[in-house]
Amino acid sequence: MLKLSCLIVVLTSSIVSVSCVEEYSRRDFPPGFIFGAGTSAYQVEGAAKEDGRSPSIWDNFTHEGNMNGANADVSVDEYHKYKEDVRIMAETGLDGYRFSISWSRLIPRGRGAVNPKGLQYYNNLINELMSHGIQSHVTLYNYDHPQELEDEYGGWISRRMVKDFTAYADVCFREFGDRVSSWSTINEPNVLTLGGYDQGLTPPKRCSFPFGVRNCSKGNSSYEPYLAGHHMLLAHASTVRLYRRNYQGKQGGIIGLTLYTFWLLPLTNSREDVVAIERALDFYIGWFMNPMMFGDYPEIMRKIVGSRLPALTVAESNLVKGSFDYIGVIHYSTVHAKDNPSSWKWKYRDFNADVGVQFILSQDNEIPSELPVVPWGLQATLEYFKQTYDNPLIYIHENGQKTIRNSTLEDTSRVKYLHAYIGALADAIRNGSNVKGYFVWSLLDVFELLDGYESAYGLFYVDLDDPEMKRQPKLSAYWYSNLLQGKTVSLDGIIELQKNYSGLPQTHSVQ
């Protein structure tokens, strides 16, 4: 039974955090609840030029020097070390592993011939997971389509991508679907569009003056984020239709879309700031949720964006409406924001100007090195989905804490973060939220898509200078394993945990 006593603390960033002295176990979660961990193909596999894999847009992006020379050509080499990684998953007690398939590895030219070596790798990985009793939760697309499709027709800014993506998904369903528990079509389309087509911070690095990075050579920040998002929505819905018609009945999996979320708080109680928060939620979440629930984009988006937002035809509306069995939620923290209507008067407009809010990240409004721990922000996010979108089935697809890579194996701050957020998740479920699984980000310290190897989220540290790339458990791995093995965890118990695992063995095992 979860025991709870909370102390309200006001942080210097003006965000109210909740520090809870609580204890709970996995018995506080519903029967069949899935606890797991996640990675994605480009971030973890390595073997970038092996066995027929072609370059993805991430390969080109990193090799053009956009990550200060860092790339994931090798990363943590899960392509060769997947058996070891599955073993540590089993020893930790994971129920599921969330990973993505590299389109470039499976179908190197984006369409047409399947790469037998890529097919073999994913079959081997899925079979290895099954042999250890671990479910496969697969993301079809995590920011990384083949560069050839980008060169040929511009990737997501072309409607041709809908057909090619659906055909790629068809191969995945046909070859792997009998052993996959859940499919996510596209990871974070609501931020993928902004990073790649508005600000140019991520591939394919498209943006325009005065938005985004200085050296974008092509793009239109005012229009392309909405166009790319429109095609992602149609590709998602087309793929769901295919899965439901041809595969779901005999394979028994479920399919959905994964969205990035953060909870927003109005800087003041003024009506303007409160309305601004509602508008921002419509832009960031409603952009994809409203079409899937109601058949059209949010009214406020259509009003503000106007003709730059592609219209859904009647046929498209019917296609996208209801196109999910579940929603994957990615959540890390909570921020304040205030109304900023002056952006609507700018000569040039992009997504952020259209939203008309200013985010307050800290006292000096600089991006903090660590996001504040606000576990009730996850509860508020889940309550928003419950109230606004009829309480859909949800999996928490990412949640975790960023730290400096290799700062210490005794990552007590991460343990406290996970303890707080998983406890808040238990509260949300008791309050009626329809959440069936939680995946910590990430299993290993991997190549991070914003800063390469500078930061880390992993339960396991990987020494990149070690030729064997030994996986070393952090304190958080032991804590998570205790929870998954049915032990009661508590904040008081963290001190005892530190004593028991002082020094942390330099081995993959968490037994």
Catalytic residue numbers? 188, 398
What distances in angstroms separate CA 167 from CA 101, 106, 306, one per listed residue?
14, 12, 32
SS3 for 27-65 is HHCCCCCEEEEECCHHHHCCCCCCCCCCCEHHHHHHHCC
Residue 473: name the closest of 462, 457, 465, 489 by CA: 462
Tokens of 293: 């629930």
What residues contact residue 278 under an 8 Å CB cut-off, 6+ apart?
none
Stated as kind and residue range, the H or E segment containing 118 is: helix 116-131
Q: Which one-letter DSSP state was computed for residue 178?
A: G
CB 389 within 8 A of CB 289: yes
* Backbone CA torsion sign across 489, 490, 493, 495: positive
- Diameter over CA atoms, the chain: 62
Cα 283 to chain center, whole Å?
A: 18
Strand (E) positions, 101-157? Answer: 135-141
Strands in 16-24's sheet, in edge-to-edge order, are 3-10, 16-24, 489-490
CA distances from 293 to 125, 158, 273, 285, 326 (A): 34, 25, 26, 12, 12
Angstrom distances, CA of residue 118 to CA of 4, 121, 139, 182, 465: 48, 5, 16, 20, 27
Nearest to 153 by CA among 202, 186, 111, 102: 111
Q: Are strands 489-490 and 16-24 parallel, antiparallel or unpaired?
A: antiparallel
Number of H helices, E strands in the chain: 19, 16
Beta strands per DSSP E along 317-470: 326-339, 357-360, 394-398, 403-404, 435-441, 455-456, 460-462
Whether the ω angle into residue 217 lies within 30 degrees of 0, i.e. cis, is: no
Among the residues of 375-511, which ranges form H helices? Answer: 375-388, 412-430, 475-484, 491-500
With residues binned 3-state (H G I as helix, E B as strand, rest as coil), the percentages for the chain, rounded to 5, are: 45, 20, 35
Q: Give the β-pairing of 254-266 and 326-339.
A: parallel
Element (H or E) spanning 120, and its range? helix 116-131
